[in-house]
Amino acid sequence: MVNAIIFGAPGSGKGTYASRLQEKLNVNVVAMGDIFREIIKEDTDLGREVKEYVEKGLLVPDSLTIRVLKQHIAKTQKGFIFDGYPRTIDQAKALEKITKIDAIIQLIVPDWIIIERLSTRRICKNCGEVYNIRYLKSKVEGICDKCGGPLYQRLDDTPEVIKKRIQVYEQQTSPLIRYYKEKGVPFIEFKTKALETPPEVAVEEILKGLKKLKLV
């Protein structure tokens, strides 16, 4: 059982690689947005509290996020890959009180690749599966292979907005990278300079790193 955090700029492949690692490692992918949507559907006291913030377009406070995360983790005996969380040092410290982090998976991808990838990305409206019209196409154009849902392009997947998103990510994540390095948490780095790197290549490299650390 392994608990890891995957860090990478928007478009670096986090979601794609995490979903493939989920199958190979038999772990859960923890994406807070998905967990919030799930708990809102359950219509519990905690879910209603989260709903108040989400419906107003407000960030869910750290204290509430941690309560949701605690409940989610308690439901399963599997390990986790955290995708998009933690985003701050405070969140990282709070996460440590819930579970131990065994490794950090860091994706290092040049900006030009990210811009090209995101501007050609398509996402399923139903299940969120990610495709690319250049190198990760669906079998039928505009239709998701998994659920048959329609594929769409996000409004913020334009070069100008993508550049800003990369800058925000770097400002936000640099302190977290330093924090975990200072803590001595092992890092597995996957670097690519090729636009059309198949997801399987990245996943195999990450698995090799986890095996070297004897985590799988």
Instruction: Cite the active site residues.
Output: 14, 87, 121, 154, 165
Backbone angles phi, psi at 12, to 5 degrees: -80, -10
Please spell the DSSP secondary structure of 103-147, one letter per residue: EEEEEE--HHHHHHHHHTEEEETTT--EEETTTB--SBTTB-TTT
Q: Which residues pair with 132 in a beta bridge?
A: 121, 136
Distance CA 36, CA 14 (A): 19
As given in the structure block, the two tokens for residue 102 are 């065994």
Q: Which residues pair with 3 in a beta bridge?
A: 80
In the chain, what is the straight-line distance between the N-terminal and C-terminal CA atoms, in Å? 7
Distance CA 7, CA 22 (A): 16
User: Residue 28's closest CA among 65, 66, 77?
Assistant: 77
